[in-house]
A and B are shown apart, each in its own frame.
Chain A
């Protein structure tokens, strides 16, 4: 198997104990693969479970059944049953996640927020900051803002910081949840470029994109999530 991600029959149900134990089936029978250098876009109306699937691949949501095979440091690990320590190791070395919203530590300057994933894998602080600066410049965040914490930024600026944070490291798998949602045309084009560079570098990607034009530009393959509808 060469796939970076190999999901078979994964399923997810929420049990809402505070609402009298209501069972909320989200998805079932989720099965697809993602090869290196390929970008798979999940499609389907909102509420179909696209974000849930992405979160299951990141280990943020638990998987109630099936298998989520991730190629991690030369071997396949089933994320659905992995120990917390293994999931953390996978997040350090293999899977990156670009969420829609930035969850940053108060007080930390933007440049350090972006450089952090590189420092965490052992790069020297100055070198990591230099690379963070290059990426912020490409994403049109002016240098005078780099020393400020991103919590003071506009929504679009925060999202670009988030993208820089997600794209800076050389992880072999990237999950993108609406990476272009609040961006203008110029910055959307930068994201499309960044995705193309990642493909060339052999990165496997799964993305959620509502914008038809962007989807057309980045998708190698589309997986229709409505096929995994779990409505009882």
Chain B
């Protein structure tokens, strides 16, 4: 049995959201969201801007404190822990090693003025790697995996195209072999042809590595291509959830039907 199938048949959730809510004064940005994510599973959160999907992503990745409810994560020792109860060292471990975060704008996830090799190597050094040759080999290996010419390893990402920057951001995130990756509109600012290449790359990396991922997107095609399951959000609440092809081919809620029917055929 491959790593992926064994990960997918794993019965213990990796992350559990329990009645998560976030209020800003009287505004409720995220309301009573509960779900479990399993190892190797890709969950898409879809909805239009203002639906609360980005707030949810920040709550799930401990960048924002919930007003109510909690998020639990299964640490590598197998114990499910409330994120709010983690110590500083454990939080650092999650952010630097066990989690990845792919931002819509690569400039947020990369250091634009240092070389591509250093961008990838930095995450390794943060977890204690100190052999320059090994770091450089691993970095160039990852550049190859994300289809960046290794000859560009010493160039800074500010000299890269948008698609290359996004692929570099992915390499930087995956180099520490995280178990969970958060992605916020990962194909957002890219040309359609560049999007297709990136999606194909993400799809194969996620399945090869058996990664779990939570992908926030307003693009239903991205959800269809990448995710196993989808949650549709509107006005801060999850209004429909299920298998991705089921929700997209047989949408139940009026708003989901509207979203699905609003796609222009190519």
- A pairs with B: yes
> Which of A17, A61, A89 has most B Cβ within 10 Å?
A17
Task: Determine the chain B residues whose CB is within 8 A of the CB of A87 once the complex forms.
Answer: 243, 246
B38 touches A61 (CB 8 A): no
Tell me the complex Cα distance, A15–B253, Å.
9
Give the contact stretch, choosing among A101-109, A177-185, A189-197, A202-210. A101-109
The answer to the question of A121 belonging to the interface, with a C-beta cut-off of 8 Å to chain B, is yes
Interface residues of A in 72-117 (CB under 8 A from B): 84-85, 87-89, 92, 105-108
Task: Determine the chain B residues whose CB is within 8 A of the CB of A62 once the complex forms.
Answer: 242, 246, 250, 252
B254 touches A84 (CB 8 A): no
Tell me the complex Cα distance, A85–B14, Å.
14
Nearest CB of A to B234, in Å: 13
Quick one: given A61-B246, A85-B41, are A106 and B2 in contact (CB under 8 Å)?
Answer: no
Contacts across chains A and B counted by CB atoms under 8 Å = 64
The answer to the question of A214 belonging to the interface, with a C-beta cut-off of 8 Å to chain B, is no
A60 touches B196 (CB 8 A): no
Quick one: given A85-B38, A92-B8, are A55 and B257 in contact (CB under 8 Å)?
Answer: no
The answer to the question of B23 belonging to the interface, with a C-beta cut-off of 8 Å to chain A, is no
Which residue of the partner chain, among B1, B250, B261, contacts A122 with CB atoms under 8 Å?
Answer: B1
Which residue of the partner chain, among A18, A84, A108, contacts B258 with CB atoms under 8 Å?
Answer: A18
Task: Determine the chain A residues whose CB is within 8 A of the CB of B199 once the complex forms.
Answer: 105-106
The answer to the question of B34 belonging to the interface, with a C-beta cut-off of 8 Å to chain A, is no
A121 touches B2 (CB 8 A): yes
**Interface size in chain A (residues, C-beta < 8 A):** 24
The answer to the question of A1 belonging to the interface, with a C-beta cut-off of 8 Å to chain B, is no
Closest residue of chain A to B2, judged by CB? Answer: A122
> Which of B8, B199, B250 has most A Cβ within 10 Å?
B250
Tell me the complex Cα distance, A62–B1, Å.
30
Task: Determine the chain B residues whose CB is within 8 A of the CB of A16 once the complex forms.
Answer: 257
Instruction: Apart from A17-B254, A55-B249, list 11 A-B contacts with CB within 8 A.
Output: A16-B257, A17-B253, A18-B261, A55-B250, A60-B249, A60-B250, A61-B246, A84-B228, A88-B8, A107-B197, A122-B1
- Chain B interface (Cβ within 8 Å of chain A)? 1-2, 4-5, 8-9, 38, 41, 196-197, 199-200, 203, 207, 225, 228-229, 242-243, 245-246, 249-250, 252-254, 257-258, 261
